[in-house]
Structure 1
Amino acid sequence: MPRNTTPGEKHSTKKVAGDLVREIIRKSFAATSLEHISELEPVSADTLHHFRTCPEQGPTLSNAKLDTSGKNLSEIKQSPWNQALIYRIARQAESVAQNTHSRSGSKEPLQQSEWDKLVADKIYRILRKACSHKRTDDTYLAKHSRSLRDWKMTRRQTIATIEQQDCKDNGDIEGYECWGFILYAVTVFGIDGMSDEEDDEENGEKVKSVLDVGFRRPEFRTLFRSVDIRHVAKGQGGRKLQRRVEVSKMVERQLPRNIPCVFLSPGFQSSSNAIPQEAIIQLEADLAR
């Protein structure tokens, strides 16, 4: 008949169990310490997709990864992937402890629920730290994205202004009006009407994938591309551009105010504010110049 476990022995058992869990977690992630796990690469979206369709393709205790794709810490904690990982680590720790207890008979093993909580507490602590890193990264990326779009807008305004002045100096009335329209369009769209970019690779070459802006008429993508390839002799800092590759991926962004309906893609045009046919004809003529 098993004897009652004293409080001191119970505390000692939990301490040994905690050390065991930490070691299993550390080895599962191939990390030097638990503090570094939050900085490791999370599980990929493709792997998560396979896991959702085939649950048996879940996390393993070899090269383990966490799912940090949730919107907040609560959602990340409840991720089926993370819960499955917690379960597997807990069962592994429980199995090791039971084998040790069977050989030595020295201490009363923890209950399954206690192992689950012990592992969950440690994984949640790691996830909390990873979530904090993610918020910092997201803030940096948002600032970087806005800075890039601001640079694009300013560059296009500079190009249009210089080209318009050259047309004026040369008596090119049509060119003057054309570049005036481009300058107006860039200014009206503003920072949020400029496209975002993502790092990518094509045939071994590092490129920038240029995302499309969902609310913008598709013709403006062609127009702004023609502006971007202009080499400006004055007013431009000589910044060398990495090759851009336009992709069909859309960036979802809130529609800025005061953009003429005729500038918007059909999906963003209000049915209660129908665009006169002559306005569309005039815009198409301006874009075709």
Structure 2
Amino acid sequence: MYRIFILILNIRLTNKKQHIVRTVILDAFDVGAIKDVSKLPPTTAEQLALFLKNPSTHGPDLIGASLDTSASTASAMKCLPWNQELMRKMALRAEEIVGREDDVDWEGSFNDRIYRILLDIQNSRTRTSSSNPPSPSSAQKTQRRRNQRQKFTRRQQICTIMVEAALEEGDEGKAKLWADVLQCMQVLTADGMSEEENGEEDGELVRYVYELDFRHPEFQSLFNFVDRMRESQKTVFNTTGRKRFRKVQRIDICPARKPPADLPPSYYKPEYLQLMRQGQVPSAKLAEGEKASLTIPRC
């Protein structure tokens, strides 16, 4: 039971942290979406000159914030003094919201999020300077990965809700099952989710599912079970307004992607694991210790 509560608590804390980071960034840059930050004008040369002369007086503000994009790469931009000071102030703002007693690495969280924004700026420059526009296949791949991350978050939420519902019912066996599924998903990570994209067959909108060549086939049955919960447990989930697409498995097109690190051997397709040990397919470090003995839950 203690492990179940810890899993739920970790999910809630992660979601809360992400919400606070997002809120602070949106407020500071005065935008409606994170993606809009990369479109804002950069810090001016005049502002940077004043900042270098007197950092305490002319530093970045959390009202009408801007980023110093004078470096050529996202990594270099992240290390610029102006941006470092901005991230430090954002971390302090987050501490004011939740209280300093929370043991959260806020500077690290803002560092990661701002880096991704700077990476968008770097990529935008690359696209602008290139004479060749992004290929349709590249855009499709990006959309698939976005759907993949959303699917991971959605399934985590389903598992968490089902654990809480089982605890309210006093069904410890059911709660343990869903806690095991949640743990399994966290070990697999978002990179272990299959990729999806929208398509059309005979005039009907469908969702193509691209299975992963390294993942054990039992995961497909497990995740089908998880995904059905929203429809089968209507007293627990609100599905009003949701439009479901028919899913079409594309087993003929398996993305050759490197597996996530630290997966238990049981998470792999047996034939892939054998080829990986022979160095014939993309490989990753296997889990060690107790984690190595984890198995796929059976529902």
The TM-score normalised by the length of structure 1 is: 0.46
User: What TM-score, normalized to structure 2?
Assistant: 0.44
